[in-house]
């Protein structure tokens, strides 16, 4: 192997993350409040932007706003603003589960919530109205999306939709990165109790640290200025029901050994470059979004390095004046149950909706916020990525020149691939980690 150990690693500016982290930090969680406040905050935050687009689009045609959805009357075209709700028998119901089984568990979600039998409504503080028409049947929609609908009332009292519009992409800061440096996007390591560190994971760490491959590989790895692991770092086994009464089932020593092994593995990467971790559904973090940072006590070796950070899921962070927004993929996977579009297309569409997790809390667990909806996109990122997907790249383009690279990061334990993101060009490429010698 041709190894050049004298190649210096590139260094760039990492912005302070505190101004972004506060959006998703919840502190001590309390679940006594209701979710209706979250929907109310979402609607009132996005409504001014939607009204601006709707008036520009439809008022020149003498089509005007009806302020409340229940005030729609007659066949004259009008437009209304509200939150979409889809009523589907395929959606999970906790009440039905308790009624049928007398037990609450994590139900296996169906493949699709939208199968042609669902009923689509538009809601505001006055009530709800049923949406009908080809425009609704053909549109990419999901529960929780805030939208304006243009159409008229039918004789049955429904709203026949002719056209629709959304909030559009938020303002985007200027991007000024002029260096060909890379961010390594990784997800789905899925370290397990049975095999905490696989051979492919070992080769991955060597590649990132510049100790694997030929001279060309080492020159590339030397330009990697940040590694981000987007969810499912480890696959922590779920204790069986009734584990509190069974001392053997409640044995957490294997999990402790798993965490220690993952800490030792990641510390090798953290010693070479800044390392950020986002929790995923398999990690020991909160189950509902936004997932809180993995506790630093689990990473005694990693936290010795100043570039090591545990972030929320979702998370914003800025590297060399490039703003990134990342998730571990739960939000995109849930959107896929409402449409046959690809995960990348749905992620790009969510930027047009100006919301990264519209299906929360309807079909995606989230914390019942009362002061604001943190999932509203207030600043459009330059890069939006989601972990634990099949690799795919797209671009979301706004009406005011916004442009966001959308990246689906492959699950490493399945694909043995990572993504290298060039911060100057925003071009993406995959690196396949082959453990065979």
pLDDT at position 3 is: 42
pLDDT at position 250 is: 56
Band the pLDDT of 116: cuts 50, 70, 90. Answer: confident
pLDDT at position 364 is: 94
- Distance from C-alpha of 131 to C-alpha of 161, rounded to nearest angstrom: 7
Q: Which residue has the higher pLDDT, 28 or 258?
A: 258
Q: 222-280, pLDDT tens digit by residue?
A: 999 999 999 999 988 776 655 555 555 556 778 889 999 999 999 999 999 999 999 99
Band the pLDDT of 2: cuts 50, 70, 90. Answer: very low
pLDDT at position 228 is: 98
Mean pLDDT of the chain: 89
Percent of the chain whose pLDDT exceeds 70:
89
Q: 5-22, pLDDT tens digit by residue?
A: 557 777 776 665 555 666
Q: In three state form, how does the secondary structure of the chain look?
A: CCCCCCCCCCCCCECCCHHHHCCCCCCCCCCCCCCHHHHHHHHHHHHHHHHHHHHHHHHHHCCCECCCHHHCCCCCCEEEEEEEEEECCCCCCHHHHHHHHCCCCCCCCCCCCCCCCCEEEEEECCEEEEEECHHHHHCCCCCCCEEEEEEEECCCCCEEEEEEECCCCCCCCCCCCCCCCEEEEEECCCECCCCCCCHHHHHHHHHHCCCCCCHHHHHHHHCEEEEEEECCCECCCCCCCCHHHCCCCCCCHHHHHHHHHHHHHHHHHHCCCCEEEECCCCCCCCCCECECCCCHHHCCCHHHCCCEEECCECEEEEECCEEEEEECCHHHHHHCCCCCCCHHHHHHHHHHHCECCCCCCCCCCECCCCCCCCCECCCCCCEEEEEEECCEEEEEECCCCCEEEEEEEEEHHHHCEEEEEECCCCCEEEEECCCCC
Band the pLDDT of 1: cuts 50, 70, 90. Answer: very low
Going from the C-alpha of 387 to that of each of 131, 158, 167, 281, 429, the distances in angstroms are: 33, 39, 25, 11, 15
Residue 4 has pLDDT above 50, yes or no: no
Residue 10: partners with Cβ closer than 8 Å, 6 or more residues away: 179, 181, 222, 223, 224, 225
pLDDT at position 255 is: 86
Over residues 364-369, mean pLDDT: 93
Q: pTM for this structure? A: 0.92
Q: Which residue has the higher pLDDT, 251 or 398?
A: 398
Q: 330-346, pLDDT tens digit by residue?
A: 999 999 999 999 999 99
């Amino acid at each position: 192997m041709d190894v050049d150990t004298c190649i210096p690693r590139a260094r760039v500016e990492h912005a302070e993350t505190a101004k972004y982290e506060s959006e998703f930090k919840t502190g001590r969680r309390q679940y006594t409040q209701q979710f209706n406040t979250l929907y109310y905050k979402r609607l009132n935050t996005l409504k001014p932007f939607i009204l601006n687009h709707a008036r520009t689009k439809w008022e020149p045609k003498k089509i005007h706003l009806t302020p409340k959805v229940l005030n729609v009357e007659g066949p004259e075209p009008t437009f209304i603003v509200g939150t979409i709700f889809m009523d589907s028998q395929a959606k999970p119901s906790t009440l039905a589960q308790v009624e049928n089984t007398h037990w609450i568990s994590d139900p296996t979600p169906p493949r699709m919530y939208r199968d042609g039998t669902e009923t689509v409504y538009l809601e505001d503080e006055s009530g709800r109205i049923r949406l009908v028409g080809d425009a609704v049947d053909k549109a990419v929609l999901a529960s929780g999306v805030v939208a304006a609908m243009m159409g008229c009332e039918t004789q049955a009292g429904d709203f026949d939709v002719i056209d629709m519009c959304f909030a559009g992409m938020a303002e985007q800061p200027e991007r000024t990165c002029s260096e060909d440096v890379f961010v390594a996007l990784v997800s789905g390591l899925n370290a397990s109790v049975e095999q905490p560190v696989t051979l492919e994971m070992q080769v991955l760490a060597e590649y990132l640290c510049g100790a694997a491959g030929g001279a060309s590989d080492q020159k590339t790895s030397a330009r990697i200025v940040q590694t981000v692991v987007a969810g499912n770092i480890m696959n922590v086994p779920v204790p069986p029901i009734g584990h509190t009464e069974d001392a053997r089932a409640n044995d957490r020593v294997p999990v402790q050994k798993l965490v220690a092994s993952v800490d030792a593995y990641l510390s090798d990467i953290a010693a070479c470059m800044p390392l950020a971790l986002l929790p995923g559904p398999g990690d020991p973090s909160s189950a509902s979004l936004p997932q809180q940072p993995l506790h630093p006590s689990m990473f005694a070796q990693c936290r010795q390095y100043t570039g090591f950070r545990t972030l929320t899921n979702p998370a914003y962070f800025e590297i060399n004046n490039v703003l990134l927004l990342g998730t571990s993929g739960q939000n995109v996977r849930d959107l896929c149950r409402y449409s046959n579009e690809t995960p990348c297309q749905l992620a790009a569409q969510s930027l047009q909706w100006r919301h990264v997790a519209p299906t929360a809390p309807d079909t995606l667990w989230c914390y019942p916020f009362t002061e604001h909806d943190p999932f509203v996109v207030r600043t459009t990122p330059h890069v939006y990525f989601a972990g634990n997907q099949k690799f795919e790249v797209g671009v979301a383009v706004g009406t005011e020149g916004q442009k966001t690279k959308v990246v689906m990061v492959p699950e490493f334990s399945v694909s043995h691939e990572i993504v290298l993101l060039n911060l100057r060009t925003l071009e993406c490429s995959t690196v396949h980690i082959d453990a065979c010698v």
